[in-house]
Amino acid sequence: MSQQWSSELLAFHDEVRRYNLGPLWDVIHEIITPKPDTRVEPYLWKWPVIRERVMRSGELITPERGGERRVIFLENPGLKAAGQQAAVTRTLYVGIQLLLPGEIAPSHRHSQSAVRFIIEGEGAYTAVEGEKIFMQRGDYILTPAWTWHDHGHEGDKPMIWMDGLDSPFIQLIDASFFEPHKEKRQPLSLPDNYSVRRYGNGALRPLGDRHHGYPSPLTVYPWQHTVAAMESLKSLPPDPHDGYAVEYINPANGQSADPRIGAVMQTLTPGMHTKAHRHLSSAVYHVVEGRGRSVVNGVQLDWEKGDFFTVPPWAWHEHANTGDGDAVLFSINDRPLMELLELERTEAYSEGDGHQAVREVFAPLT
């Protein structure tokens, strides 16, 4: 970097820097790299490791004492080393939230977008802007930015779900606002499960309804709807890179259900091995069903039900189902942001048969 500079020039750099100024020629290739120079690592978290800590947190803290929510978050070690906390990629946060029977996670709102994917349990709800939405395994639920939300549990078993937020991105651009509600539970103004009853049909809506744009009028995407959409795709040729994949959209405008966090569900049928590609947008995956392996920039990640893993920005990735039944992967991504900023680009892996060589088999912490 600086070894080609004379001692006279090096002294000048020091002198310039004393005034909070800088010589561009010394840093230009660190600032403007030929391709993304990311600190985000391909990484995999095993479900039993997460679940055990989540359940233990249930013995040690309540949602209210835990500063609003009882959550164990995933932390990408590459970002942790770079001083960024609670981030899986530069834009995406993932946490695993536990709510026990009878508990309430108090109402608040924030400028971060939040999405939820339900992993375990029943009888809990999230209330969003006056509507109670009951959670069931496999459901995808939106909490659009700046909407009031609180969670409650009317069932009798622990309820566990995944939270996806754009909090690292919001922190990066200094755009965080947060407000607690004056009541622990916001007042309810709509029938339970109102949005899915009204808009859950996707292409059909009640006559005369003129809702359009943001936020999505549909706030919960039930598991059985997602399964039906993927089953229907199975009668057609799969996508070479993604298998049978569907994206959660806002039925009123056809865009990503949350405008900043994209979400995808994909099925890989037995024996399926997708071809590698890469895109700038980064993603965090959660294994809903089955077992398999993904190769991410030459690192083999072996996964099974419940595990989580990262695909960093601009990382080659391909997925293989190694089990007997379908493998089903849920993922969140920052593609809506990249597209909005006209930054998204995609490239297919063109070497050989479209598959990467494995240079390392990842050894997860157990």
Q: Is 163 in the site for ligand GTQ (CB under 6 A)?
A: yes
Q: Is 132 in the site for ligand GTQ (CB under 6 A)?
A: no
Q: In terms of Cα–Cα distance, which of 46, 74, 49, 42 is closest to 300?
A: 42
Least CB distance to ligand GTQ at residue 304 (A): 24
By beta-carbon proximity to ligand GTQ, the closer residue of 95 and 292 is: 95
Name the residue type at position 239: D
Going residue by residue from 214 to 253, which x/- string records binding to ligand GTQ, judged by CB under 6 A? Answer: ----------------------------------------
Q: Is 114 in the site for ligand GTQ (CB under 6 A)?
A: yes
Least CB distance to ligand GTQ at residue 201 (A): 27
Q: Of 71, 246, 261, 265, which lies in the binding site for ligand GTQ, with binding defined by CB under 6 A?
A: 71
Query: Residue length, the chain?
Result: 366
By beta-carbon proximity to ligand GTQ, the closer residue of 95 and 290 is: 95
Q: Of 133, 135, 142, 165, which lies in the binding site for ligand GTQ, with binding defined by CB under 6 A?
A: 165
By beta-carbon proximity to ligand GTQ, the closer residue of 314 and 330 is: 330
For every residue of 195-221, DSSP letters joined together read HHHHHTTSS---TT----SSSPS--EE
Structure tokens given for 187: 């007042």
Report whether 354 contacts 316 (CB < 8 A).
no
By beta-carbon proximity to ligand GTQ, the closer residue of 145 and 299 is: 145
Give me the long-range contacts of 168-171 (CB less than 8 A, separation at least 24).
168/79, 168/84, 168/86, 168/87, 168/89, 168/90, 168/91, 168/92, 168/93, 169/90, 169/91, 169/92, 169/260, 169/334, 169/337, 170/111, 170/112
Compute the half-sphere exposure of residue 95: CA atoms within 13 Å on the CB side of its CA: 18
By beta-carbon proximity to ligand GTQ, the closer residue of 49 and 104 is: 104
Q: Is 98 in the site for ligand GTQ (CB under 6 A)?
A: no
Least CB distance to ligand GTQ at residue 114 (A): 6
Q: Is 97 in the site for ligand GTQ (CB under 6 A)?
A: yes
What is the dihedral sign for C-alpha 192, 198, 201, 202? negative
Report whether 96 contacts 72 (CB < 8 A).
yes
Least CB distance to ligand GTQ at residue 278 (A): 28
Number of residues that bind ligand GTQ (CB under 6 A): 9
By beta-carbon proximity to ligand GTQ, the closer residue of 168 and 259 is: 168
Q: Is 170 in the site for ligand GTQ (CB under 6 A)?
A: no
The DSSP symbol for 228 reads H
Q: Is 95 in the site for ligand GTQ (CB under 6 A)?
A: yes
Alpha-carbon distances, residue 331 vs 28, 79, 100 (angstroms): 35, 20, 25
Q: Is 149 in the site for ligand GTQ (CB under 6 A)?
A: yes
**Interacting residues with ligand GTQ between 31 and 70 (CB under 6 A):** 69
Helices of type H across the chain: 7-17, 28-31, 47-60, 77-81, 167-172, 194-199, 223-233, 335-340
Name the residue type at position 85: Q
By beta-carbon proximity to ligand GTQ, the closer residue of 94 and 311 is: 94
| Site residues (vs ligand GTQ, CB under 6 A) | 69, 71, 95, 97, 110, 114, 149, 163, 165
